[in-house]
Amino acid sequence: MNTIEHDTKVKLLTIRQAAGVIEGLTEYRIRQLCRTGELPCIKAGKKYLINEQTLIGVISKMDRHFEGVDQ
């Protein structure tokens, strides 16, 4: 039998940890993104767990979306 080993570890973050990764993003906003489905996450009981790479990707896409928009 062939065994495939995966060295890739997925880093899951709590809402608080996720808010600490992206400066200026609050826990409230992260939770809101999870609830609306804009930020894919895993719900474990009452906690939301967010893949760190997914968080960075979603925020990068949002940032590119708002580039060039006058505020």
The full set of domain ranges for the chain reads: 12-63
Query: How distant, in Å, are the alpha carbons of 11, 15, 60 from that of 26?
Result: 20, 9, 16
pLDDT for residue 6: 65
Q: How confident is the model at residue 58 (pLDDT cuts 50, 70, 90)?
A: very high
Q: What is the pLDDT of residues 8-53, one digit of tens each?
A: 788 999 999 999 998 889 999 999 999 999 999 999 999 999 999 9
Q: Which residues contact 69 (CB under 8 A, 6 or more apart)?
A: none
Q: Per-residue pLDDT for 70 more than 80?
A: no
Q: Which residues contact 41 (CB under 8 A, 6 or more apart)?
A: 34, 48, 49, 50, 51, 54
Round to whole Å and give the CA distance between 66 and 71: 9
Question: Which two structure tokens, joined as six digits, stand for 19?
Answer: 């808010």
Predicted structure pTM score: 0.75
**Structure-model confidence comparison of residues 32 and 66, the more confident one:** 32
